[in-house]
Amino acid sequence: MSAIASATPRRSILRRSGFHRMPSVFLIASWAIIGTVVFMAIFGSLIQTHDPAEQDLLNTSAPPSAEHLLGTDALGRDIMARIIAGAPAAITGPLVVAVTGLLMASSLGILSGYMGGTIDMVIQRFVDFMFALPGLLIAIVIVGVVGGGYWLAVLVLSLLNFAGGVRILRGASLEQRALPYVEAARTLGVPRHRIMYSHIWRNIAPIVFASAALDFALALVALSSLSYLGLGTSPGVPEWGRMLAENQALLFTNPAGVLAPGLAIVLFATAVTIIGDWIYDRFSFSGRTGR
């Protein structure tokens, strides 16, 4: 997989995962979760009943109540308000990592698969080198030493997160290269860059976006992990991974304060993965027809 996951080919995972055979309630729930997080990220300030940074030192570690639906943390801050305020970070960082991986994987993977020869060999040896790097460990070291915070972590993960996608799209491009529509385009004198990045890319787009969805979910977990370790966002910033670390002490006084951010990470990452698998299964037939 990518630098933040194992080296198991994601395409085979997508083929065998079987999400498309699940009842439609899973798709509806996944779209609902994604829509809720996006809504909180865009309109969160309009629905918050408390300032996420406001402290109430007379009401710390309080359990859920009518005033504080998920209770308060050790500094008396409203946990629900902080989860809502953490939604933008849960989208923007992973989205940057996923889009960067999509662009790099599309560029190098299709070029490698279509051109073959020396170009393919050079790109694949570079990909092998990237696979050999312990991506998350490198991110921990760089962010810990430099102290650059959240966006440095996003940058490092973006640079280390495209190797798996390159191999997936190389394999898909090799399949497409032998199809009649590619041969016809060559016969008509269509430029190679147009064949690669217009015709072939369009036909393997379901694989591209399914891989990007998985990259998004993995980046969300990786960035939350870095924040949990104190290497992502700054102290006090409402980010789900950091909230999980800060609220551990509330496990026996206000369990909702610990479970809520962790559950938000798990549900959002799972929902994005399910939708990515659905996109692949729903539209992958176009990659076999050659339009």
Listing DSSP states for 78-113 in one string gives BHHHHHHHTHHHHHHHHHHHHHHHHHHHHHHHHHHH
Q: How confident is the model at residue 1 (pLDDT cuts 50, 70, 90)?
A: very low
Per-residue pLDDT tens over the stretch 20-49: 455 588 899 999 999 999 999 999 888 888
Per-residue pLDDT tens over the stretch 207-238: 999 999 999 999 999 999 988 888 877 778 88
Collapsing DSSP to helix, strand or coil, 63 comes out as coil
Domain topology for 17-47+71-289: MetI-like fold (1.10.3720)
Q: At 75, which helix (H) or strand (E)?
A: none
Residue ranges per structural domain of the chain: 17-47+71-289
Q: How confident is the model at residue 13 (pLDDT cuts 50, 70, 90)?
A: very low
- Residue 285, pLDDT score: 57
Could you tell me which residues are beta bridge partners of residue 78? 72
Total-model pTM: 0.83
State the Cα–Cα distance between residues 110 and 137, nearest whole angstrom.
29
What φ, ψ does residue 72 adopt, rounded to 5°?
-125, 160
What φ, ψ does residue 53 adopt, rounded to 5°?
-100, -5
* Tokens at 166, concatenated: 């390159």
What φ, ψ does residue 224 adopt, rounded to 5°?
-65, -35
State the Cα–Cα distance between residues 242 and 227, nearest whole angstrom.
5
Per-residue pLDDT tens over the stretch 156-192: 899 888 888 899 999 989 889 888 998 898 888 889 8
- Residue 23, pLDDT score: 56
* Tokens at 216, concatenated: 């998004």
